Structure 1
Amino acid sequence: MNEVIFSIFSAFIFGLIIGSFLNVLIYRLPREKTPLKPVFSFCPSCGEKIKWYDNIPILSYLILKGKCRNCGSKISLRYPFVEFLTGVASVLAYLKTGLTVDYIFIFFFLASMITITFIDLDFKIIPDEINFAGFFTGMIYTFFRTDFNWVDAFLGAVVGAGFLFSIAYLYLRFRGIEGLGMGDVKFMAFVGTYIGWFGSLFTIFAGSFLGALVGGAVAYLSRSKEKGKFEIPFGPFLALSATVYLFFGKQIKNWYFGF
């Protein structure tokens, strides 16, 4: 029992550390800054280098009371939240796979979902760097998993990206405005390599349903009259739906086909 608790705790701490790096990606990638240069973290307000003892996940935020030590500017609560969320993702990946090679790929998938969600919320883009890395790791993963081969992964990518591209094309053709970005299409190619063609379709339909619910609620509450200009990022809903399928895909598929 103690070994299990220690393993879960270790997975959580590892996730916190990775979460700190995800914050770097979330800040730098959409601003077209190199994630590894500078190698140190810095305050977005004053630009001062953050000392290592002020960069301990969650703990430093609590000690500093959410403020920069140098300039006193407020630090967004999002930073410790992303770290905590990544810690939880690491634990979930561990509970699903144990300490195996599968853990590496599953945790990478979940970490990518977190990164994409927060970038898309702020900038309404999904960086190609994440989509391409996700697609290639998904294909590589097929050589280590027993429930999936490279044909399944490739078919999942084609179905996911192709279906979403068709929707985007038809929407643009008949409405005359862009309803979906190509980042979402590439994202589904990434997702498809991990969860296959059925998982891709589930992700698109479930993500669309969630997006419609949230978008409708936000539009109603904000009483927005600019219907044509109202935008809501699709990536977070796709990421959430893909994550649900990753963990419950077998049950969802069995339920759908009546097994």
Structure 2
Amino acid sequence: MTETVLLFCLAGVLGLAVGSFLNVVIYRVPRGESLVRPGSHCPHCDSAVRPRHNVPVLGWLLLRGRCADCRTPISVRYPLVEAGTAALFVAVGARFGWSWELPAYLYLAAVAIALALIDLDVMRLPDKIVLPSYAVAVALLVPVSLAAGDLSAVIRGLVAAVALYVFYLVISFWGMGGGDVKLAPLLGFYLGWLGWGAVAIGAFAGFLLGGLVGAVLLALKLASRKSKIPFGPYMLAGAFLAVFAATPLGDWYSNLLVAPTL
């Protein structure tokens, strides 16, 4: 019990810190700006953000959502990203516990938040984030298999990555974006590592969520049939639905197939 509480606390604190950095990534990467220089500053008056105001969530509350110098409103999305990242990190910690797989899926969680919000902002999944994530996934997960002396999860992940790449490449001829095609193998590798059930649920859930949201937007006349809707957030949401729910959903489906005993 104590170890679990410690894991949740560490994951939450790490999530807050990573979420603060993700706000920088989400703002600067689409603009081609450096993530290092200059330091955190107000985009309106260029005043440097004071260290005490850089504390995740609390800094925004302390400032009451306004720049300390020019009083320009600061979007509420900043603390929401920080708190949301912390919550997702805790959930990933609960899913994997103290395991060697945990860092890999924490990284995926961070990348998912950054990519989803960038795609919503500019309808693009930057190569600067997606492509290096392949190397990170391999570096974090392959040694786990090597240490266990079992490469089946790696092989399954690679096969799933290729399968999803081919699938998305084919449907790209009917309008799927190139960024989605590049993201698909990354998600395939992570989901394939968990099992084929996770791959099937993750892929299906992405299209289901995208279709449902699209239908709602059409019904509310917030979009038309010609409107471009970023698909990356739904791919990522579907993948994490599979990460958390593939096992219980698989068990539930298996129980349906088992004839009841008298």
Shorter-chain TM range is 0.7 to 0.9
After the TM superposition, which residues 158-177 of structure 1 pair with which residues of structure 2 at under 5 Å, given as runs? 158-169=162-173, 171=174
Normalising by structure 1, what TM-score?
0.88
Distance 2:198 2:93 in 1: 21
After the TM superposition, which residues 126-205 of structure 1 pair with which residues of structure 2 at under 5 Å, given as runs? 126-140=125-139, 141-145=141-145, 148-169=152-173, 171=174, 179-196=175-192, 199-205=198-204
The reply on whether 1:49 has 2:58 as its aligned counterpart is no
Question: 1:156, 1:193 within 8 Å by CA — same for their partners in 2?
Answer: yes
Corresponding position of 1:60: 59
Cα gap change, 1:201 to 1:242, in 2 (>3 Å): same
Corresponding position of 1:16: 16
* Partner-residue secondary structure (3-state), 2:21: helix
Corresponding position of 2:75: 76
Q: CA RMSD in A?
A: 2.1
Where does the alignment leave 5 or more consecutive residues of structure 2 unmatched? none
Question: 2:142, 2:154 within 8 Å by CA — same for their partners in 1?
Answer: yes
Corresponding position of 1:35: 35
Shift in Å at residue 2 of structure 1?
5.1
* Partner-residue secondary structure (3-state), 1:245: helix
Distance 1:183 1:80 in 2: 27
Deviates more, 1:146-155 or 1:132-141: 146-155
Distance 2:4 2:252 in 1: 32
Corresponding position of 2:88: 89
Cα gap change, 1:7 to 1:22, in 2 (>3 Å): same
Distance 2:17 2:124 in 1: 25
* Partner-residue secondary structure (3-state), 1:50: coil
Corresponding position of 1:245: 242
Distance 1:122 1:235 in 2: 11
Identity rate, percent: 33
Shift in Å at residue 111 of structure 1?
1.0
Deviates more, 1:4-13 or 1:60-69: 4-13
Write out per-residue CA displacement over residues 172-191 of structure 1, whole angstroms, 9 at most, x where no aligned residue: xxxxxxx2211001111111
Corresponding position of 1:120: 119
Where does the alignment leave 5 or more consecutive residues of structure 1 unmatched? 172-178
Shift in Å at residue 110 of structure 1?
0.9
Normalising by structure 2, what TM-score?
0.87
Deviates more, 1:149-158 or 1:138-147: 138-147
Shift in Å at residue 198 of structure 1?
5.0
